[in-house]
Structure 1
Amino acid sequence: MNKIDRNSNKFPNENSNEEAIEQVNKQFEEYTMEMGKANWIAILLAFPISLLLLIPFVLIWDFDTLRSGWNMFTSNYFLFLISGVIIHELLHGLTWAYFVPNKFRSIKFGFKWKYLTPYYHCKGALKVKHYRIGGAMPLIVMGIIPAIIGLIMGDGGILSYGLFFTCAGGGDIIALYMLRKFNDDDYLYDHPEKLGFLKEIA
């Protein structure tokens, strides 16, 4: 946790919009994680998540059903990947835009080539409970719900889709875990460069 001056390069004044101007002379406490570290943790999280879904599926149905579904998913992998990345970030942006005053003017999308990671950034202040909803939305809609449907129906393809996008939401899981120490009505700012957020110093 670090104290950051609003004029420092760690939280740059993006454009000259009203939200940025209002924050120029404020100070923040930083709650963040470098993207490289977050990616490694997300990879490690994929192992228990996979076991949690795959073992019950094989025990309830069978391995051949899982394998055929996985083959169907991988044969369309790039289609699912490209469309999934777009939908994932849109779900974040649409949800957060609903809760900030300036709506989509506060939302920025981009891609960090160094880490091969797409990102979204909200320039407006969000209540923690709204940050959680926006952070969890792709994980729930694209990951958990399809995985549960696939498990119940015995559809290995739907399960594979849900498993993939649950694991792809590893960074979101980390961010949600980082929010555990805050109250629902605390206000946070999304960090423009790292995984995490900033809280204004009272």
Structure 2
Amino acid sequence: MKNFEQFLSTPVGKQITKMAERHVAERKVERQSYQEELNSLLSKGSTSHSVAPNRGELRFVKMEGVLSLYTVSDTGTVKDIKPLTLDTFKGMEALDQAKFKEAYPAEAMAMEYGAFTQDLNKDFFTSAVVANNADYREMEMYLNRPKVDNDLQYHQNLEVSSAYDSFEDYKKGLTKELKVYQQENSVDGRIQRQNRIDELKGKIEEINTEVGSGE
């Protein structure tokens, strides 16, 4: 042991020590990169169709110009979407009312003065039938997609056009974000995501074994 310590104090030993320290630092940076990617993948939710982490959450959307509310089902789908009325607003829990007021302050004020009304149309009810039991995140991405008032403005509005791969996708309401989400949550996409998660966990464990799990 003493001889080894003496060796480390030599120029060659010091050089080897620096190389080892550099290697450990590089592996820790590599581990951090793997961990960040893993966290991102895990944040996308379970790779199996299991219970949604926000099941039971009350959410608000505008569909066909009608302010609506729905509940996230156990599996993350739209449950019981319906138009918001004075009665449904009064029947909401205080936390949900506060969330609504933050998102729609003008409408909330109209509610307080009993002046809130909506023009319910056939398009809303048709869309509501389609939306029920749909993936809630997919529905909200579609409803909140960037749009222009006139199709002729599409190419002139870079903020809108950059959100799509093509004008054809724009007409279908398929943003880049929505297409990625659909791919990642398809059967093949979920399998690929789980495989990558397992691979990253293995790489992180390998580095932990090599340099230790501490920072």
Normalising by structure 1, report the TM-score: 0.23
**Who wins on radius of gyration, i.e. which is larger?**
2
Between 1 and 2, higher relative CO (CA 8 Å, sep ≥ 6) is seen in: 1
Name the structure with the higher strand share: 1
